[in-house]
């Protein structure tokens, strides 16, 4: 029996055609080109850090926008940035990217149309589509968290983003409830700085997260039936989100073997 030499011929069947070592040492995808290739996921989960950064930037800038002459423009830019980072963060698969774009593009288009021509398009449709987009992002983040086999910094970052996006999803709903109030007033303000008792963007942001965390300072009180119902649902959602999410993360973390490092495996596209 002839002895074969060279690393490129080890454990390979005899062939009548010789191949250069470069071809035989090609990547596994090249060697298995005859088998059907599995579609690769888009490298997106690392972008939850960028989404978290854009949300923090929005929260830090929100209190100062009311005094700026171009507050509506800056707010629109920040919302566009958050939605763009959210699209990237949830588009693990091509289908998810298509759905995210189909929701975000008309939402952003109506947002900017309403900014430049408020009389051309009312805010109601834009507020509804914004809520739908935020809820879709939350669902995708939760799916990623629940399916994660291990807990690492990416999973924790996705959990934080999901909680913050949950508060963002109620902002357009409160503004919509304020616009649809039959009596003209959906919220009562105890601060003298809000004589018109209108739910503007920052007021809605503040009230949403105060309700989500069940802090309830009482300076903004929902008085219309729709506003009260939305506040009640958000408070319940916030409590259940924290309880279910924390229990899930703790269960995943505690079931790992003691000798196994508790970090998630690298994304396949990171190699």
- Alpha carbon 95 to chain centroid distance? 16
Is the pLDDT at 172 greater than 60? The verdict is yes
Burial 174-199 (b: 16+ CB within 10 A, else e): bbbbbeebeeebbbebeeeebeebbb
Q: Quick check: is 110 in a domain?
A: yes
Q: Quick check: is 1 in a domain?
A: no
Q: Quick check: is 244 in a domain?
A: yes
Q: Quick check: is 179 in a domain?
A: yes
Residues 6+ apart with CB under 8 A from 21: 6, 7, 8
C-alpha to C-alpha distance for 165 and 82, rounded to whole angstroms: 10
pLDDT for the residue numbered 161: 95
C-alpha to C-alpha distance for 170 and 144, rounded to whole angstroms: 22
Number of domains in the chain: 1
pTM (global) more than 0.85? no
Residues 33, 42, 22: CA angle, nearest 5 degrees:
30
Q: Quick check: is 185 in a domain?
A: yes
Q: Quick check: is 40 in a domain?
A: no
- Average pLDDT of span 212-228: 89
* 53 vs 34 pLDDT, higher one: 53
Q: Quick check: is 2 in a domain?
A: no
* 253 vs 246 pLDDT, higher one: 246
Q: Quick check: is 34 in a domain?
A: no
Q: Is 159 helix (H, G, I), strand (E, B) or coil?
A: helix
Range of the domain at 82: 45-255
* Helices marked H in the chain: 21-24, 28-31, 48-65, 71-90, 94-116, 123-147, 153-179, 201-212, 225-254
The CATH number of the domain holding residue 210 is 1.10.287.70
Q: What is the pLDDT of residues 78-133, one digit of tens each?
A: 999 999 999 999 887 888 899 999 999 999 998 888 878 777 777 788 899 999 99
Q: What is the pLDDT of residues 193-215, one digit of tens each?
A: 665 667 888 889 999 999 999 88
**What is the chain's alpha carbon radius of gyration, rounded to the nearest angstrom?**
26
Environment class of 8 (CB within 10 Å of its CB; exposed 0-12, middle 13-18, buried 19+): middle
């Amino acid at each position: 029996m002839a002895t074969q030499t060279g690393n490129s011929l080890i454990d390979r069947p005899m062939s009548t055609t010789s191949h250069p070592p470069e071809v035989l040492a090609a990547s596994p995808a090249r060697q298995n080109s005859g088998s059907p290739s599995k579609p690769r996921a888009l490298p997106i989960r690392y972008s939850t850090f960028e989404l978290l950064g854009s949300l923090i930037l929005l929260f830090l800038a929100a209190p100062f926008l009311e005094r700026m002459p171009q507050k509506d423009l800056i707010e629109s830019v920040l919302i566009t940035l958050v939605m763009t980072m959210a699209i990237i963060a949830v588009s693990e698969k091509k289908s998810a990217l298509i759905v995210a774009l189909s929701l975000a593009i008309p939402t952003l288009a109506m947002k900017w149309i309403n900014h430049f021509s408020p009389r051309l398009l009312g805010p109601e449709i834009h507020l509804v589509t914004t809520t739908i987009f935020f809820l879709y992002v939350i669902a995708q983040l939760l799916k990623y968290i629940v399916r994660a086999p291990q807990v690492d910094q990416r999973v924790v970052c996705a959990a934080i983003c999901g909680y913050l996006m949950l508060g963002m999803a109620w902002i357009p709903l409160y503004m919509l409830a304020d616009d649809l109030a039959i009596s003209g007033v959906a919220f009562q303000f105890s601060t003298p700085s809000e004589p018109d008792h209108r739910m503007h963007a920052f007021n809605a942001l503040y009230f949403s997260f105060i309700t989500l965390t069940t802090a309830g300072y009482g300076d903004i009180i929902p008085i219309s039936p729709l506003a009260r119902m939305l506040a009640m649902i958000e408070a319940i959602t916030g409590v259940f989100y924290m309880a279910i999410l924390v229990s899930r993360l703790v269960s995943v973390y505690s079931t790992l073997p003691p000798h196994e490092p508790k970090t998630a495996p690298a994304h396949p596209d990171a190699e």
